[in-house]
């Protein structure tokens, strides 16, 4: 067999394997999410199913108003806050905002590990890790309802500007800005963790706030996107407390957290102090 024939045969085998994999994915669609590229956009993460069925999710369009219209006082505030964070570009806070865009579970857990002063990992605290991951699915589903209805352009699209994550700008151009899913997830986790560890509640809440503020710094969300996302997150957490499975996991996670803290193992770090934007953004 010549080298050319071997090359064609090898190429044919590769093509056959590709076809087989596609067929498997079509047959087992629910298992194919993990084959997608994972990145900072939460839409591409392989997530566990949430606790709440679609009919039990809060209706985010009933909880928050439409986004501020151009020319309104609300939109003037959006633009003013956007201008106020311009000096933060290409600073350590800009870099932190880029890091905060990563909603992979361990990345987020590392930030909250610092806030709680524990080791928060899938291995060390599996129940809590799973609870937060399932909560992410509930939050994203609730936020998506409003995102699809309002379809608000993101600030970097409206101003034809750059963001702290240029590699994801193309995807975000077609993703609604209002409300912010990253913010909602961070605030929901902060609320849950502050309940589980009230002695570190302020630190957990501060971390949750900074996750939302990072979206403004990054130029991918308006301040109204962030503020209303926290309202959606609070509604999701309140609804979760009516779910028996969530409450059961919450109690297991509470015990797990106490056990982890008793070991006295510090977070892996490095731990950076959460920052707060100017009060005008609150």
Active site residues: 182, 215, 221, 225
The values of phi and psi at residue 218, to 5°, are -70, -10
Q: Which two tokens stand for residue 229?
A: 């996302």
- How far apart, in whole angstroms, are the C-alpha atoms of residue 204 and residue 202? 5
- How far apart, in whole angstroms, are the C-alpha atoms of residue 240 and residue 138? 9
- How far apart, in whole angstroms, are the C-alpha atoms of residue 28 and residue 25? 5
For residue 180, give the nearest of 103, 113, 116 by alpha carbon.
103
- How far apart, in whole angstroms, are the C-alpha atoms of residue 282 and residue 280? 6
In the DSSP assignment, the letter for residue 34 is G
261 Cβ contact list (under 8 Å, min separation 6): 116, 117, 118, 197
Terminal-residue alpha carbon distance, the chain: 72
For residues 153 and 177, the answer to whether their CB atoms sit within 8 Å is yes
- How far apart, in whole angstroms, are the C-alpha atoms of residue 131 and residue 137? 10
Instruction: State whether residue 178 is helix, strand or coil.
Output: coil
For residues 68 and 74, the answer to whether their CB atoms sit within 8 Å is yes
């Amino acid at each position: 067999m010549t080298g050319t024939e071997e090359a064609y045969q090898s190429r044919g085998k590769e093509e056959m394997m590709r076809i087989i994999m596609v067929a498997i994915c079509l047959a087992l669609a629910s298992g194919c999410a993990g084959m997608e590229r994972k990145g900072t956009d939460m839409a591409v993460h392989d997530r566990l199913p949430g606790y709440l069925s679609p009919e039990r999710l809060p209706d985010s369009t009933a909880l928050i108003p439409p986004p501020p219209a151009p020319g309104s006082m609300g939109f003037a505030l959006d633009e003013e806050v956007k201008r106020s964070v311009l000096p933060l570009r290409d600073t350590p806070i800009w870099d932190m905002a880029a890091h905060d865009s990563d909603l992979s579970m361990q990345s987020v857990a590392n930030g909250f590990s610092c806030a709680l002063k524990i080791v928060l990992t899938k291995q060390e605290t599996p129940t809590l890790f799973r609870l937060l991951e399932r909560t992410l699915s509930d939050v994203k589903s609730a936020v998506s309802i409003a995102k699809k209805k309002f379809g608000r352009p993101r600030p970097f699209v409206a101003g034809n500007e750059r963001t702290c994550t240029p590699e994801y700008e193309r995807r975000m151009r077609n993703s609604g800005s209002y409300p912010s899913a990253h913010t909602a997830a961070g605030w929901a986790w902060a609320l849950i963790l502050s309940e589980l560890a009230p002695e570190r509640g302020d630190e957990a809440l501060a971390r949750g706030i900074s996750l939302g503020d990072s979206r403004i710094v990054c130029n991918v969300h308006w301040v109204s996107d962030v503020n209303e996302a926290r309202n959606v997150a609070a509604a999701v957490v309140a609804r979760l407390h009516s779910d028996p499975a969530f409450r059961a996991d919450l109690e297991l996670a509470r015990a797990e957290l106490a056990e982890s803290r008793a070991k006295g193992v510090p977070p892996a770090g490095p731990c950076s102090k959460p920052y707060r934007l100017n009060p005008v953004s609150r």
